Each structure stands twice: as C-alpha cells, then as structure tokens.
Chain A
Amino acid sequence: MKNKLIDLVNISKSYDGVTVLDELNLYIRENEFLTLLGPSGCGKTTTLRILGGFERPDHGNVFFNGNDITGLPPNKRQLNTVFQKYALFPHMSVAENISFGLKIKNKPQGYIDDKIRYALKLVNMDGYENRYPAALSGGQQQRVAIARAIVNEPKVLLLDEPLGALDLKLRQDMQYELMRLKNELGITFVYVTHDQEEALTMSDTIVVMNQGYIQQIGTPEDIYNEPQNAFVADFIGDSNILDGRMIRDKLVEILGVKFDCVDTGFGENKPVDVVIRPEDVELVKPEKGILSGRVTSIIFKGVHYEMEVHANGYDWLVHSTRLQEVGKEVGIYVDPFNIQIMNKPESTDEEAVPVEE
C-alpha cells in the first residue's frame, strides 16, 4: 500500500469540559479519498479543523510526512480547505478569490493568470472571472471555493461537508465532479460528511465516527457489508438490528427462532447483535419461511418497495422489487451468508444512538 501521509496520534479535544475527541488515532495515505462519516457532534469536523490547523488538540500530535505539525499555523501547512459555507471573500471577484493564495506567495502575474484559467476550466466555470460571489449560485460558489483551494497545489484537500447546502441533483453531479477532480489532481482528499450515501459513493476509505470515537475504518464495501457494531450498521443504510443469542458456531437464535449463519468464534449461548439488511430479507410463501408474519405497510420508493412485516413481535424492514399486499401472510427467509453477527457493545460510546437528520 502507499505510504502514510498524515498521522493523527492520540488526539484529544474538549470544549468547555465536553469531550469531542478522545484518544483518536488515524492515518491517511497518499492519494487516498478518505471520508470522515458520522452524525453531528461525532467529532468529524473537529478532526478536520485540527488537520487544517484551525484548532489545536488538547493532547496528541499531528504528523505530516513524518514531521510534527501540531503547532503549525494554517498558513504554514501544505493543505487547503474547502469550507462548509464556501467562505469566499465577498469583497473580491472570482479571479481575485482564486488568486489570493498565489498572490500571497508572490507568484508572477503570468503564472497566476494561467492558474486562474486552468482552475476555472477544471471546475467548469470558465468566463466567471469577474463575477462577485454574491452573484453566484450555491453550486457555483462551491466550485469557486474548490478552485481557490486547488490552485495552491496542496498535497491534501480538506472538504468540510462541501455539498451540504446543495439540492439533491446538484449534489450527485458534484460527487462525480469531485471524484473526477481527485483523479485528475492525484492528491489526497479528506472529506467530512454525515451523508452515508455520499461517503459510499466517493470514498476509498470510510472512517465512521460517533461521540468522539472511531467506530470502524474500512472500504465502503467493508463498512456496508461487514459493519463491526450496531451503530455502524444502523448509520450506514437501513437495517434490521435484532437481539440474538449465539447458540453455537453457525447457529443463532433470533426472536425465539434458530437461524443458520456463517459466523464462528462467538462462543456458546452468548448474547449478540444481529444485523440483517432490508434487501436481504426474502419474502416467500408462509410455509417456506424460517418464520412467518403479516405485511403491515408498503411504501413505493422508486427502485423498490419498502415494506414492513410484523413477525414474532418485530417489525421487519424489507426492500423488495416484488409487490406484496398489506395484510398478506408471508414467510421470511434470510440466506445464512446475509446474517451479520456482532458482539454487544462493551461501552456506551459504541452504542447505537438515534441519528438526527
């Protein structure tokens, strides 16, 4: 694998006695698209601000290319930030905004002009040089903010929920644009978001955070398919999270019914969390299911129907392209491979908390 570019070691930070980050350890590799994902207040933005140099950790160190940059002010760091609300300079034109960093570094005018043209082309904003931020839409301001950051050729681009204020269609377009940009620039992106879909779409690596702790680090596939705890499972996509009991290897009891599964090594008669994705719940004829229940609600979602099936005292969330009828008796079947078994959380900070949207 490529080498570590940034290393966060034992980072702690609290505001007015409230701990935001607790002994956080994380490294970021060169040329990686890493996303810090979590609900508001999980510490993801604080982590980014510590990287950018806007906050100092109470404890711990930040290493960049092996050098300790913990105490370095933002202007001395080889990274640039795209701020959440764009933070363009309102008294400067688009060209002046973009050239701000280059002028500070006393680059020659010809170089600056070339860079402005290149950057505006890169973000599809050619011809907007002389506009002022107030005359641009949110999406356009976002593009200028990105252009302003990348003309400085940073080693790392930090992005703080940059698409949060855009509407859905524009947000999806910008996701592809960002991925294209990252490939063209060949630099590291550290991206902060609370939107799991955004994270799954763009990232090489996702860091799921909650209440100041890292819950799981992995590829989007790992995070989605193999959540390490109930919080991650709950936060990434919809899921059925059930209390279960591991009877022995490859056999788990849920809602009083035994299910075959593929997990081993949890011990015998051990309480566990069981996660089953809604698309992995198969609705079959009542007699063919492992358990049976009644369809209680159906919502059309475009690609699939979202249904609730009441069975053994639990409302199962089911995604299926095949329409059932409300009130119909159905059987529930889950492929052993699609049952995720997880240890119960040992401390409260790993517990699944309701996510505010």
Chain B
Amino acid sequence: MRLITHNMLSCNIKGVTNGFPLKIEAEKVIEKEVDFNPEFLRHMFAKIEWKALVEAARSLGYAELPEDSPDATAIESSVDDESLLKKLHHALLELHLEEGALVCPETGRKFPVNKGIPNMLLHEDEV
C-alpha cells in the first residue's frame, strides 16, 4: 500500500468520528520506482493532508519531508522547486507498506496489512 492510499483511508467503524489518520505499524517497507509525473502531484496536492503524510512517511522511515505544509502556489508554479516535488513523489508513490498494521486513532482497532493489502473488513458489531 502506498502512502497516497493511506492518506485517503480512514477508519470506518460505526460511531468513530475521527478515524483519520490511521497510525502505521510498519514491519516491512519496500520501494518501487515509479515514473515522476509533476502534473499528477500538483493535481493531488490540494487533496493531501500534509501532516498525516509527514507522519506516515516518518513511520516508514522517510523523514525528508518538511514539517510544515508547503505553499500551494509554490507547488503550482515552482520550476526550481523540483526537489520538493521529487520528495513528495517518493513519499506518495514509491514507498510501499508491505507488512504491518494500521491502527485506528480513536478505538485502537488494528487493521492488518499482508502482502501490501490492508484488511479493512469490519466485524458484524462494528458496522
């Protein structure tokens, strides 16, 4: 699972009001190289929760993203700021959580991740 997906996922248990962001307990992380596409990153930037992304990247052992969210205009227009986009690209699309678990911040429920697939199935009493 890439971090772009993690950034969209929230806990779906009934009654949970703030199921985002899911904490990551990483056991195995792999990297896969993907083509760099600045257009897509610019398109996705507005939708990304920066804080959650920084935290998630850190839990996968990648700490090079800046703490504060960069300016939207900087991302939009920058030509020289390619390095920031590259970092974002690496964090969003190239880091994969292969084995581990996602933990709901409110209930502490664990969603196991096997072979890169998080198991988000809920039990009957959680629906």
Partners in one complex: no
- Give B residues with C-beta under 8 Å from A: none
- Give A residues with C-beta under 8 Å from B: none
